[in-house]
Amino acid sequence: MRPCLFEHRYSAAQADITGFVFFTVKWSWAVFALLLYFQSWIGLSLLAADKAIPFSQAGKVKDWVKKGKIEIEDIPNPHWNLAACAACHKGKPGRKNIRLRGKGINATCNNCHQVLADHVHDHPLAVAVPKSMRKRMPPAFRKTLLRGKRAEKVMSCSSCHDIVMQCTEKRFSDRKINPKFMRGGPYRSRTGLCYKCHDKKAYQRLNSHDQISASGEIQPDKCLICHMRVPKQLDDGTAVDTELWVKTDYASLCLNCHEWSPHPGGNFLFLDKGGPQHLVKPPPGIRRHMLKMEKINGIILPLEKDNGQIYCATCHNPHARGVLKNPRAAKGADEPKRLRANPMCENCHDL
């Protein structure tokens, strides 16, 4: 039931003010005040309606965010939700006609994910998939290249994300083990996915640290070996879009190409446990020492974000000289063994 507006306006608390407006100021002013009041009331109710964006309006999300009508957090999450088919499908989808809400799969996803940019990455999409790669791809992957009107041999989000998994209630139980619906997943290590298409041997021969071309330009595709997107660096030295393909067990990023032998100190014969375990969370004493030495030596000693453990890049800088602008983060780039400092041990051990 809608409350009577006039009654509302003439609530006890407001009666005096309204009376004052009506009898001491000219009529035109009263009408103006009334209009202002209505405008703010209608404006607010529109905003409130925007907050619960219906899934069927997914096509407008991009525009609304750009115009500041809604915030990123207001974008509804349609995944694994039986009531959200309309976010990606116009009408009832079938196998023959999937009735996507955008022009193709990528556009459908990017209705929201282009502005949810914090959560997307930029692996090449609009590129032809070489024949040798197509041969290597398992059928479930290869099939994704043939979809769409023109049957181009290009990839889409669906090549890596098995979207249909979150379309069918039957498969909703997969959410627990494969929340991002990775095709062929879950994977113990993310790069298991990469090798469904990329040649493991060729990949390992790739020098990921060779990041500057002969003419001195940064090579963005090299960044994508480790980063989900090409990182951007602001003039004040801060960096954005630095997310890595891994969220835990960062060493796996390096161990695709490098063999692990426990080090440093692995050749201390008196250690019968196979050398000191360095890939651990530093105890508080060592952590304090590290923070102190970061300042003294003007370096960074980054740890795994989710669990604070030491990993390969705590000691080694994987970047080429000239890539990083922040001088502390850049220390160690292209230095012998890529070490962030020399000597290294004293940065953690109070020698």
- Dist CA 351 CA 337 (whole Å): 22
Contact 61, 53 (CB under 8 A): yes
Residues 228-267 binding ligand HEC (CB under 6 A) are 231, 233, 239, 242, 244-245, 247, 251, 253-258, 260, 263-265
Q: Does 221 bind ligand HEC (CB under 6 A)?
A: yes
Q: Does 178 bind ligand HEC (CB under 6 A)?
A: no
Q: Does 310 bind ligand HEC (CB under 6 A)?
A: yes
- Dist CA 56 CA 243 (whole Å): 31
CB 307 → ligand HEC: shortest distance, Å?
13
| Smaller CB separation from ligand HEC, 21 or 166 | 166
Q: Does 198 bind ligand HEC (CB under 6 A)?
A: yes
Q: Among 173, 175, 161, which residue's Cα sits nearest to residue 88? A: 161
CB 21 → ligand HEC: shortest distance, Å?
45
- Dist CA 127 CA 125 (whole Å): 6
Q: Which residue(s) pair with 89 in the sheet?
A: 100
Q: Does 142 bind ligand HEC (CB under 6 A)?
A: no
Crossing angle of helices 27-51 and 12-24, in 10° steps, is 140
The residue within the footprint of ligand HEC, chosen from 37, 56, 93, 297 (CB under 6 A), is 93
Q: Does 88 bind ligand HEC (CB under 6 A)?
A: yes
Q: Which stretch binds ligand HEC (CB under 6 A): 9-17, 31-39, 44-52, 82-90?
A: 82-90
Q: Does 347 bind ligand HEC (CB under 6 A)?
A: yes
Q: Which stretch binds ligand HEC (CB under 6 A): 4-12, 16-24, 30-38, 108-116?
A: 108-116
Q: Which stretch binds ligand HEC (CB under 6 A): 5-13, 20-28, 35-43, 102-110?
A: 102-110
- Dist CA 197 CA 30 (whole Å): 71
CB 63 → ligand HEC: shortest distance, Å?
13
Surface-to-core class of residue 86, CB atoms within 10 Å of its CB (0-12 exposed, 13-18 middle, 19+ buried): middle
Q: Among 305, 298, 351, which residue's Cα sits nearest to residue 326? A: 298
Residues 45-74 binding ligand HEC (CB under 6 A) are 58, 61
Total interface residues for ligand HEC by CB under 6 A:
123
DSSP H or E segment with residue 141: helix 139-142
| Smaller CB separation from ligand HEC, 68 or 274 | 274
Three-class HEC string of 192-247: HHHHHHCCHHHHHHCCCCCCECCCCCECHHHHCCCECCCCEECCCCCEECCCECCC
CB 43 → ligand HEC: shortest distance, Å?
25
Q: Which stretch binds ligand HEC (CB under 6 A): 10-18, 29-37, 41-49, 127-135?
A: 127-135
